[in-house]
A and B are shown apart, each in its own frame.
Chain A
């Protein structure tokens, strides 16, 4: 009889403590990027860019956001760059994977690409986004703790550890895309975007680390 009452008391105590703990308002400490994203260069390595607005706001809840279109001289096709940063996340303000933009866009294959950059190699996700006859080749990755991560399960684990151990949830997402047409094939877009990314990523590290 005593054991029943003790276990009952233990169970109630744990439920009460957990309930009260979870009800405590908790604001993860906001950590801004190394430099404001608005200062991200419009020109680098032969690419020239300008800001664009109201294209497709994939991550409207970000604290800082850069939406640019870059071109290289001699190449008419544009590269779209979406770079979003969260000082901290919450239930209503969190990163959404670029894989799920909605608005009728869908992907049918996705793969991991490894790029060699100055600091080593990085993995990014690549997929072909389609809506009707429109296609675009998209590369994306997440930046957390200064590391570039493309695997979303790994991202979740890292985010969880950061929140639990350090009370922080800052994160960035980079999305780079290029139209794919009859004249500009997937292979052309791959080659161009990868060269662009090799130029962009070292610059990005100065802003997000």
Chain B
């Protein structure tokens, strides 16, 4: 038995080293992105969270025998194909995403479908450590800037404030403001989504409840940021542009992020209560 364990560890070590050899350039560039870009600084935490989820399933995994399955080879080859395609086409996102597919393929091939099902979520969760392509981030940001400006204009106009909107520009009597990328909350949207997924995984029972909470997290984050935008512009109207340089504005984003998390927890509790009621009715 001991000999088998040692062989298993050696095999695991060999496969891990080979994956590292294959993906070292992508892993290195990803870590650099996590360090350089604020919106992806949460990337450092994602593998740790993924590891923790695997650790919480350790008893289940211990009791499942490893039965290699050739079907995993197809998944693994799909991952390798994506890696090669991404290299040929100079697409870093495709190469990084292929890492997850390759790992899933290796799990299926070497450990079998039952272990694969248990590890599917924690390995799939690694998706949140991958910086999204700039084209997607920019497209979302452009839309959010316009919507943010429109909502701010509508709310403040209703409150009787003299404000004009021209695209993402907001004209006040004392100053002109532009809703920039940082104002859209795009930096925190990815992190909020990652948090909502893991929060839903640990707190919700049914798949419907989990998916509902994750889908709800995005509008919660966007609306919360809109509220921050309205408040900021309102403060600028009353206290002048100096408010933008003050501590209150610098930390506004942090406070808003924490507020969004609180809303997420509240939403999670409500969805959980509804889900429990539905589950208890269906069991009767």
Contacts and interface: CB of A to CB of B under 8 A. Distances in A.
Interface of A: 3-4, 7-8, 10-12, 14-16, 18-19, 21-22, 89-91, 94, 97, 99-100, 106-108, 130, 132, 152, 156, 159-160, 163-164
Contacts of B83: 18, 22
B222 interface: no
Nearest to B135: A152
Contacts of A99: 138
Nearest to A100: B138
B18 A15 contact: yes
Given A7-B109, A106-B168, A12 B18 contact: yes
A15 B19 contact: yes
A97 B15 contact: no
A8 B142 contact: no
Nearest to A107: B142
- A-B pairs, 8 with minimum CB distance: A160-B89, A15-B18, A163-B88, A19-B22, A7-B68, A108-B167, A18-B80, A19-B21
B8 to A, nearest CB: 9
Contacts of B91: 156, 160
B90 interface: yes
Interface string B63-80: 000101010110011001
Contacts of B138: 99-100
B90 A3 contact: no
A185 to B, nearest CB: 14
Contacts of A164: 85, 88-89
A24 to B, nearest CB: 11
Contacts of A12: 14-15, 18
Given A22-B83, A108-B168, A160-B88, A14 B77 contact: yes
30 contacts: A4-B66, A4-B68, A4-B110, A7-B70, A7-B109, A8-B110, A10-B73, A11-B73, A11-B106, A11-B109, A12-B15, A14-B80, A18-B22, A18-B80, A18-B83, A19-B18, A19-B22, A22-B84, A99-B138, A106-B145, A106-B168, A107-B142, A108-B142, A108-B145, A108-B146, A159-B89, A160-B85, A160-B88, A160-B89, A164-B88
A176 B156 CA distance: 38
B117 interface: no
Interface of B: 11, 14-15, 18-19, 21-22, 66, 68, 70, 72-73, 76-77, 80, 83-85, 87-91, 106, 109-110, 134-135, 138, 142, 145-146, 167-168, 178
Nearest to A157: B89
A106 B84 CA distance: 34
A15 B138 CA distance: 35
A59 to B, nearest CB: 14
A113 to B, nearest CB: 18
A7 B110 contact: yes
Given A108-B146, A108-B168, A11 B85 contact: no
A89 B90 CA distance: 9
B68 A130 contact: no
A187 to B, nearest CB: 17
A72 to B, nearest CB: 29
Contacts of B76: 11, 14
B164 to A, nearest CB: 14
Given A11-B76, A14-B76, A97-B135, 4 more contacts: A8-B110, A22-B22, A22-B84, A100-B134
Contacts of A108: 142, 145-146, 167-168
A107 B109 CA distance: 47
Contacts of B15: 8, 11-12, 15
Nearest to A21: B84
A10 B76 CA distance: 11
A159 B167 CA distance: 34
Contacts of B109: 7, 10-11
Contacts of A94: 90
- Which of B84, B89, B142 gathers most chain A CB within 10 Å? B89
Nearest to A18: B80
Contacts of A21: 84
